[in-house]
Copies of this chain bind each other. A is one copy, B any other.
Amino acid sequence: MAVSKTEEFNKVDIELAEIAKALSHPARIKILKILNDLDSCMVGSIVDLLPLSQSTVSQHLKELKRVDLIKGEIEGPKICYCINPIVLEKAMNGFNKLFLQVCKC
């Protein structure tokens, strides 16, 4: 974009938008579901369940990690990813607050 105006908005809106951006690709939504379902949280197991290359999946994981929706723990040569329930709950509350605030229904 020409020049970002993002910083001119309020912090709550910026943060919620960041979470929304992290959820704005079906691969990343599916990754959250996979992490919840799977016992093994290795990247390889996730790659096997997605129609994407390992490097692409790694980028999607990075995006989820960027907003702390997931965290990665090193286990030898592997990395165990898991959902960060604190941030997930914060995200849920943020969306609910927005929707309830904005919905006259």
Which A residues form the contact surface with B (CB < 8 A)?
5-6, 8-10, 13-14, 16-18, 20-21, 23-30, 32-33, 35-36, 51-52, 83, 85, 88-89, 91-92, 95-96, 98-105
Of the candidates B8, B14, B23, B85, which one forms a contact with A20 in the assembled complex, judged by CB atoms under 8 Å apart?
Answer: B23
**Chain B neighbourhood of A103, CB < 8 A:** 36, 83, 85, 88-89, 92
Chain B residue contacts of A13, Cβ below 8 A: 26, 29-30, 33
Q: Is the interface of A mostly helix, strand, loop or mixed?
A: helix
| Residue of A18, A23, A28, A52 most packed against chain B (CB within 10 A) | A23
A21 / chain B contacts, CB cutoff of 8 Å: 20-21, 24
> Can you list 14 residue pairs at the A/B interface with Cβ under 8 Å?
A5-B51, A9-B27, A9-B29, A13-B29, A17-B26, A20-B20, A23-B98, A24-B24, A32-B98, A36-B103, A83-B104, A85-B104, A85-B105, A89-B99
